[in-house]
Amino acid sequence: MSNTTTPAPETGKKEKKSSSIWQELLVPVLAVVTGLILGAIVIVMSGENPFRAYGALFAGSFGSPVDFFEGIRIYFTTGETAALIKAIYPFTESLVTATPYIFAGLSVAIGFRCGLFNIGAEGQFFIGALSSAFVGYSIKGLPMIIHLPLAISAGILGGALWGMIPGYLKARFGAHEVVNTIMMNWIAFRLSDWLLNGPMKASGFRPVTPNVEASAELPRFFSDPLRFNLGFFLALLAAYLVYWFLFKTTLGFEIRSVGANPDAAKYAGMNIIRNFVLVMFISGGLAGMAGASQVLGVDHWVGQGFSAGYGFDAIALALLGKSHPAGVVLAALLFGFLRSGATDMQSMARIPVDIISIVQGMIIVFIAAPDIIRWFYRIRTAKKEETVLTRGWGS
Amino acid sequence: MTNDNIQINSAAEKRKRISYGIALLLVGFVIYLLFGLNTQAGSLTTFGLNLTSSQAIKVPDLIVPALPAIYMMAAISVFAGAYQLARGVRSTGWLISILAFTFVVAFLMWAAQDKSFNLTGMLSSSLVRATPIALAALCGVISERSAVINIGIEGIMLMSAQAAVISATLTHNLYVGLIVAIIVGGLVAAFHAYLVIRFKVDQIVSGVAINIVGTGTTSFISSRFMQSAGDTLNNSGTFPIISIPILSKIPVLGPVFFENNLIVYLTIILIVVVHILLFYTPWGLRTRAVGEHPKAADTLGVNVYFMRYVNVILGGMIAGVGGAYFTIGSVGRFDEIMTAGKGFIGLAAMIFGKWNPIGAYTSSLIFGFADSLQVKLQILRVPIPSEFLLMAPYIVTMIILTGVVGRAIPPAADGQPYEK
């Protein structure tokens, strides 16, 4: 995009005024709205009522406000929590869905910042999930204070190593990270097929791992059907750490410089190879953490197809969030609500979940081509420098 | 070039020479240790050369004593390695071929000892399995030669696969299906071209969006309409096998090359035609000029945008044929996400083939071979988990990308939008 004009990476100074924040949010918001409208058109074409469908989507992602107030009323009058739990269930479930999205989106975003396109988040996610599941179920009798961090680190490390391989191959041999991360995805799927049918298989018929020990589970805040857990806050913490790392540290500055203009960075004496390997290590680690959070916080076991779709969703998230941690968190929340609501929409309005993929794809197109939105809604172009997203096949 | 540079280059050359030599020696020893020591003396490996359904003249099966053959492969590899260390061969292609050939042959000898293994069948299925990969790679070649990256091939193939099967089932005519697939492929590619050329959308991003929309749309249509109406929407039948007269009678080669369905033939024809178009016609020269240095091409009066539109759309149509292969070319119905990453493997084949149609086809054949090999080995009950065999093509791709191709050099302007 800005291959011809390569600006110095912006410093972390707070120079944006509130009006420009609105300016910045305008296109993404309109993109989401337009995506939903196009989705509605698809729903109409397939012979269903879009209002009913989106009503179900909304109820499935946020819950119904009426139920919520009713739940509160019942709680205060009788002390009975069942109705309240039922009312907040959709909302917390959306946050639960958003948790791995935050990690995975950050993973791809940090790659973009360095000019690396990590399509392999899906494989790193899977390897991370398997590693933390392994530590989670194989070690017994440890206190939670040791076991949980151990399981999480195993997930991070698994994903990080899986991501580091393409990073190293890119840095050392110039092999395209796009192809290699895809190859690593397929290797991860096959490896997990083998692990789940062999060494890591739980006793029983299905190819799944045993449940992790209770001491390795991310603690949940509410009682059972609510799966809302510590993972969500870890994700927010990770977003802050990535922000701090990218914008407040020397290393982060180097990474952004390499991403903005590798040649200039090289002439400035920065070590391109080290940065590539480091970024892929961190990126893989974040994707692995996404897997770990899903295993330790939500499912407690890993089965086949565990990571399906996370890789591509993560790319969409990073793009939607303009590779900025705060943007990624917002985008992940949006996707979390859409995905979690879509499940209800499927059961209530007979609209297949896949409609969300169509909406997502359209959103990506509009985000990537703000000109379409500006043209469509007749918005004046607020000209400023775009962030570098990808760098083609790179070199 | 200064003296320093030459010395650095020759040092790099020397290192490369030595590492290839060592690799060959190692493969020789690995063959001996892994396969030689685990093969019974006196066991025979039978390679079947006939297909039961084929019209080809029958030839006797090839029966090879396994152990001597394995030793011979080890010896060839060691000898080649020693020669390489002592003298050095210029062509790395030869070295890789020897390395791969000796290893694969020895592996087959070991895997199929005391059993029968249909060689012709495997080669034939390699060619068939290479077809969608080759078409995806060709789509990549043709659009990237004009500097437009298209990683949405996977999505394009999915959509055209579905369009093909639906239209073919509705009209009871497979050719209608093929044409619809080509049109759908062209339209989606035109959308991609419009986004990246008119709106200067990041090309990778647009491709990813096409993949997501493609997966979403096809899964949506499939679960909303096709699952309940399997017979009326999703049951097209497949293109019949066409035997080319006389040529199909040739033993081994006949069943492999001359008894295939329309799409396999079409692929081979397309590869040759695109190769000639790209390298021997004015149109090809313009395309490559647009891909290497659009400004210069523009100055000389080539319409950069027009060339890019045409190439991307042509590429999409080729990918449409690839999509048609999945449904009306092989199984006759559509399943969700049935392309299973073939579009991306096609991109790897394109890079490995250095953005050249023939090269891309050759590397697709390697992938096709690896793919059919693992199927055969599962039948042979080789004592290796099949999952590891399934990993082989991907690992091979990674090794190849690092070792042989090294810094594969794309067209100079690849991925960059052009502004007048």
End-of-domain residue from the set B68, B91, B114: B114
Predicted interface score ipTM higher than 0.90: no
Residues A23, A25, A28, A33: what is their CA dihedral angle, to the nearest 10 degrees?
A: -100
Whether residues B101 and B206 share a domain: the answer is no
Write out the H or E segment, with its range, that includes residue B47: strand B44-48
Domain of B96, in residue numbers: 3-114
Q: What is the pLDDT of residue A1?
A: 38
Whether residues B128 and B86 share a domain: the answer is no
Whether residues B162 and B209 share a domain: the answer is yes
What CATH number has the domain bearing residue B221?
Answer: 1.10.3470
Collect all residues of chain A within an 8 Å Cβ-Cβ radius of residue B217. 354, 357-358
Whether residues B56 and B38 share a domain: the answer is yes
What are A253's two structure tokens? Answer: 């500055």
How far apart (Å, rounded) are the C-alpha atoms in residues A163 and A173?
16
User: Is B384 contained in some domain?
Assistant: yes
Q: Do B391 and A187 touch (CB under 8 A)?
A: yes
- For the segment B72-78, the average pLDDT, to the nearest whole number, is 86
The interface residues of chain A toward chain B in range 192-221, judged by CB-CB distance below 8 A, are: 193-194, 197-198
User: Is B178 contained in some domain?
Assistant: yes
User: Is B418 contained in some domain?
Assistant: no
Q: Do A354 and B215 touch (CB under 8 A)?
A: yes
Whether residues B85 and B134 share a domain: the answer is no
pLDDT above 90 covers a percentage of chain B that reads 26
Whether residues B49 and B154 share a domain: the answer is no
Among A288-292, B333-337, B404-408, name the one with the lowest average pLDDT: B404-408
End-of-domain residue from the set B80, B99, B114: B114
How far apart (Å, rounded) are the C-alpha atoms in residues A272 and A255?
9
A389 Cβ under 8 Å from any chain B Cβ: yes
Whether residues B362 and B236 share a domain: the answer is yes
User: Is B24 contained in some domain?
Assistant: yes
Among A249-253, A318-322, B11-15, B137-141, name the one with the lowest average pLDDT: B11-15
Q: What is the pLDDT of residue A3?
A: 42
**Every domain of chain A and the residues it spans:** 99-332
Q: Do A358 and B216 touch (CB under 8 A)?
A: yes
- Nearest 5°: the CA angle B313, B319, B321 is 110
The interface residues of chain A toward chain B in range 356-375, judged by CB-CB distance below 8 A, are: 356-362, 364-365, 368-369, 371-372
Which of the two residues, A122 and B417, has the higher pLDDT score?
A122
Whether residues B364 and B334 share a domain: the answer is yes
- Dihedral sign of CA atoms B199, B204, B209, B210 in order: positive
B18 Cβ under 8 Å from any chain A Cβ: no
Q: Which 3-state string (H, E, C) describes chain A?
A: CCCCCCCCCCCCCCCCCHHHHHHHHHHHHHHHHHHHHHHHHHHHHCCCCHHHHHHHHHHHHHCCHHHHHHHHHHHHHHCCCHHHHHHHHHHHHHHHHHHHHHHHHHHHHHHHHCCCCCCCHHHHHHHHHHHHHHHHHHCCCCCHHHHHHHHHHHHHHHHHHHHHHHHHHHHHHCCCHHHHHHHHHHHHHHHHHHHHHCCCCCCCCCCCCCCCCHHHCCCECCCCCCCCECHHHHHHHHHHHHHHHHHHCHHHHHHHHHHHCHHHHHHCCCCHHHHHHHHHHHHHHHHHHHHHHHHHHHHCCCCCCCCCCHHHHHHHHHHHCCCCHHHHHHHHHHHHHHHHHHHHHHHHHCCCCCHHHHHHHHHHHHHHCHHHHHHHCCCCCCCCCCCCCCCCCCC
Q: What would the pLDDT profile of B178-236 be if each residue is shown by its tens digit? A: 999 999 999 999 999 998 888 888 888 788 888 888 888 898 888 888 877 777 778 88
User: Is B296 contained in some domain?
Assistant: yes
Q: What is the pLDDT of residue A7?
A: 46
Collect all residues of chain B within an 8 Å Cβ-Cβ radius of residue A319. 205, 208
The interface residues of chain A toward chain B in range 79-138, judged by CB-CB distance below 8 A, are: 117
End-of-domain residue from the set B85, B114, B143: B114
Write out the H or E segment, with its range, that includes residue B261: strand B259-261
Q: How confident is the model at residue B161 (pLDDT cuts 50, 70, 90)?
A: very high
Q: What is the pLDDT of residue B91?
A: 67
A171 Cβ under 8 Å from any chain B Cβ: no
Q: How confident is the model at residue A2 (pLDDT cuts 50, 70, 90)?
A: very low
Which of the two residues, A380 and B226, has the higher pLDDT score?
B226
Q: How confident is the model at residue B288 (pLDDT cuts 50, 70, 90)?
A: very high
The interface residues of chain B toward chain A in range 166-225, judged by CB-CB distance below 8 A, are: 195, 199-206, 208-217, 219-220, 223-225
Whether residues B108 and B129 share a domain: the answer is no
User: Is B77 contained in some domain?
Assistant: yes
Residue to test with chain A: of B208, B399, B419, most A Cβ within 10 A: B208
For residue B239, give the DSSP letter.
Answer: P
Q: How many domains does chain B have?
A: 2
Statement: residue B257 has pLDDT above 60: yes
Residue to test with chain A: of B212, B404, B419, most A Cβ within 10 A: B212
User: Is B98 contained in some domain?
Assistant: yes
Chain centroid to CA A353: 18
Mean pLDDT over the full length of chain B:
83
Whether residues B17 and B105 share a domain: the answer is yes
Whether residues B182 and B106 share a domain: the answer is no
- Give the total residue count for chain A: 395
Q: How confident is the model at residue A186 (pLDDT cuts 50, 70, 90)?
A: confident
For residue B59, give the DSSP letter.
Answer: -
Q: What is the pLDDT of residue B106?
A: 84
Statement: residue B90 has pLDDT above 70: no
Report if pTM > 0.90.
no
Mean pLDDT over the full length of chain A:
83
- For the segment A78-87, the average pLDDT, to the nearest whole number, is 78
User: Is B209 contained in some domain?
Assistant: yes
